[in-house]
Structure 1
Amino acid sequence: MAHDVQPLDPEEGGSLSKAELFWRRHQKWLEQSGYLLRPRYRDAWRPSWKGTNKEYYLAPDGVTLRRGNLIDATRVSDGALVALKQVVKARHPHEIQIGLYFSSEPLASDPRNHCVRIIEVLQVPDEEDMSLIVMPYLRAYYEPRFDTFGEVVSYFQQVFEGLQFMHAHHVAHRDCDGRNIMMDGTALYPEGFHPVVTDMKPDMTGSAKHYTRTEYPTKYYLIDFGLSRCYNPDDGPPREPPIFGGDKSVPEFQNSIKPVDPFPTDVYYLGNMIREDFLQTERGFGFMERLVADMVQDDPAKRPTMDEVVARFQAIQMSLSSWKLRSRVPERDELAIVEAYRALVHWKRRLWYVLRGVPAVPLP
């Protein structure tokens, strides 16, 4: 392994963080394994902004990773952008096993499968307890902003279907809030985007151009199986002690150490994600209120199963008119005059979609 040589004073803006030093140490090994890191992590890197008037945070190589255990890389064989994630096996002993299970055939080809695919597992040569999992590079599910209710309906349908698929195979996710739902942005951003500052062009010279999800239907994925578990149905309903993921609001975990069934908790996570990210922050989602209210009930036994959630959502979707599905999702605090103008622009574009026969609910 190459020795670390910091190109900047550790206190200077744009310098490598402690977590990033791991990637710099392993850059040559990763390249030999078929994955090329950005120039920032190579031995020959010298900051591009040095000697210029540009601030480090405006340079494509000046941005620190937001999560030190996760990095982007280019696959040498075909130029595809991928994600590399550190997995400490003693801390998350089931993550790789469950990820590979859903990445293997015949499950991998099942259209209901929305688990992120593991392309390869790399054993870190100098750290026995650490592996790297290689996955397609995904971006947050909510960026860019949803354009229509039909696009959001597609999102709901896919994440419901994805969790139902996991449950059907006796796997509880146990951390499926909005932080662990992502999407494939390849088609939406044909010219690419910076892998850390994802609303910017790869070279950070301006905003990344993107299309709507209606034009380019998007697939959503459940990620991060670090807390996930697979259960034997012959053993009856599983019981697990409380374990907090990103969402700390789970009712059955408050002031209790009593083991609970993790499957109803998964239902709560998705329901609360919709409640917080849509019902409380956007307008026009009243059609989801009753289902979400049932999904987030305090008593886990009263929550619907994912089979019931999917069935009820299908009925909800069937009740929505094409006009509603093609309507624009307005911002909650949008001024009336601004909303009227944006609606006019929106419907001019929507009419073109209707004439072309583009579906109101875009599904990949």
Structure 2
Amino acid sequence: MWETAARLLPEELDPREVWWRDRYQRLAKQGYLLRPRYSPQWVPSWKSSNRHWKDTEDGKRLEYGQVIDATRTLDGKVVTLKRIKRSDHPYEADIALYFSSQALASQPANHCVPVYAVFTLDGDDNTMIMVMPLLRPYDDPGFDTVGEAVECFRQLFEGLQFMHKHRVAHRDCMNKNIMLDPTHLYPESYHPVATHLNKDCAGHAKHVTRTQQPPKYYFIDFGISRRYDPSDSSPKEIPIWGGDKEVPEFQNSNEPRDPFATDVFYIGNAIKMDFILEKRGLEFMKPLVISMIQADPDKRPKMDEVVTRFDEIRLRLSQRKLRSRVVDVNEDLFDLVVRTTSHWKRRIGFVARGIPAIPSPPS
């Protein structure tokens, strides 16, 4: 598909984009307006300006064909539309709507992506459109302080514990399926495809730190998730590969396994890969993470134990440690000096204003 897109002119839509373009009017009637690129009347903006197509808002192709951004005409809010096929993922919409139900949506421990609406198009009951908030990867922008990373871990553990308490195994809760709400981090928003740029792609998107505006983290993509009856205390599932290919119990085996134990591995491995191996200053997480990713799934802690052990770790961290900077392992000397200097300026200001070292979003 990407090879096809690479051969197209900038003004030509690839097949993934054509699918959305052909439904532009029907989506508009549902109350969701796609960007100008996907209007049947679209005329490329660079044709009548001096800007190169790469520098324009409508020169940006979709990154994932089944997901597109849209403006909700009711209130002007930018949302995400996801196209799913019930025949491929029969439980995705039901599980997503379950966690978005009135009884669960307002609970702070719920970190499942909210679903605003689900509808069908073309009279095809197999193809559904899920409407969700516009989110961005959980590690973008980068973490400034240890306290910010600690709050991220807390929310992820809390969220997975919440899912497990409601007898839902995510089964693919690896790093690419963890997102954050950028609403307050990016007060002027950003382009939904070129996320490092502002909305019209005329400059970099401005953001503040997580200490200033703490985000909420969310799990997305319930395509292979399963919900179990409370009476089934020990469900087993035939291995199914998610995005993380390192799951020990799936290597050379089709034996049914505990999906909740696999979830514990996924989230532990995400922290290992994105933090412990890539950052300095987070070594205190190693013992817990090692226990979460051990080869024997029966020996891994349950999420209740993970949360309890993490709370004990968090309480032992000093204010100085929590306000210290998270350093990339590959950071060169120039970046080290520049980033440390700017970090200390912010740190002094935060301490003076009494801003907590562990930021937490409003309930």
Q: Do they fold alike, i.e. is TM over 0.5?
A: yes
Which one of 332, 346, 354 corresponds to residue 357 of structure 1? Answer: 354
Task: Tell me by how many angstroms 1:333 deviates.
Answer: 2.1
Which residues of 2 match residues 138-287 of structure 1 at below 5 A?
Answer: 138-287=135-284
SS at match of 2:70: strand
Equivalent pair of 2:269/2:293 in contact (CA under 8 Å)? yes
* Matched residue type, 2:148: E
Equivalent pair of 1:9/1:15 in contact (CA under 8 Å)? no
1:42 aligned onto 2:45: no
* Matched residue type, 2:325: R
SS at match of 2:74: coil
Equivalent pair of 2:8/2:14 in contact (CA under 8 Å)? no
Deviation per CA, 1:88-140: give whole Å up to 9, x if none.
00110000110111001211111000000110001112433100000111111
1:288 aligned onto 2:285: yes
Deviation per CA, 1:64-83: give whole Å up to 9, x if none.
10000000001101111100
1:131 aligned onto 2:146: no
* Matched residue type, 2:348: L
- Structure 2 match to 1:73: 70
- Structure 1 match to 2:113: 116
* Matched residue type, 2:28: E
Which one of 6, 11, 15 corresponds to residue 18 of structure 1? Answer: 15
Task: Tell me by how many angstroms 1:14 deviates.
Answer: 4.4
Which residues of 2 match residues 50-69 of structure 1 at below 5 A?
Answer: 50-69=47-66
Equivalent pair of 1:14/1:63 in contact (CA under 8 Å)? no
- Structure 2 match to 1:4: none
Equivalent pair of 2:57/2:201 in contact (CA under 8 Å)? yes
Q: Which runs of 4+ in 1 moved over 6 A?
A: none
* Matched residue type, 2:352: L
Task: Tell me by how many angstroms 1:55 deviates.
Answer: 2.9
- Distance in 2 (CA, whole Å) between partners of 1:158 and 1:269 is 15
CA gap of 1:341–1:51, structure 2 versus 1, over 3 A, is: closer
Which one of 103, 106, 113 corresponds to residue 103 of structure 2? Answer: 106
SS at match of 2:45: coil
- Distance in 2 (CA, whole Å) between partners of 1:207 and 1:336 is 24
| TM-score, length of structure 1 as denominator length | 0.95
Equivalent pair of 1:181/1:220 in contact (CA under 8 Å)? yes
Task: Tell me by how many angstroms 1:338 deviates.
Answer: 4.1
- Distance in 2 (CA, whole Å) between partners of 1:66 and 1:177 is 19
Equivalent pair of 1:10/1:16 in contact (CA under 8 Å)? no
How high is the sequence identity, in percent, across the aligned residues? Answer: 52
Q: Which segment is superposed worse, 95-104 or 12-21?
A: 12-21
Q: Which segment is superposed worse, 349-358 or 60-69?
A: 349-358
- Structure 2 match to 1:312: 309
What stretches of structure 2 of length at least 5 have no aligned partner? Answer: none
Question: Over aligned residues, Cα RMSD in angstroms?
Answer: 1.5
- Distance in 1 (CA, whole Å) between partners of 2:349 and 2:237 is 52
What stretches of structure 1 of length at least 5 have no aligned partner? Answer: 1-7
Equivalent pair of 2:111/2:155 in contact (CA under 8 Å)? yes
CA gap of 1:20–1:126, structure 2 versus 1, over 3 A, is: farther
- Distance in 2 (CA, whole Å) between partners of 1:10 and 1:128 is 34
* Matched residue type, 2:301: P
Equivalent pair of 1:82/1:137 in contact (CA under 8 Å)? yes
SS at match of 1:106: helix
Equivalent pair of 2:145/2:324 in contact (CA under 8 Å)? yes
Task: Tell me by how many angstroms 1:10 deviates.
Answer: 7.2
Equivalent pair of 1:14/1:57 in contact (CA under 8 Å)? no
SS at match of 1:145: coil
CA gap of 1:31–1:289, structure 2 versus 1, over 3 A, is: same
Task: Tell me by how many angstroms 1:11 deviates.
Answer: 2.2
Q: Which segment is superposed worse, 330-339 or 145-154?
A: 330-339
CA gap of 1:341–1:31, structure 2 versus 1, over 3 A, is: closer
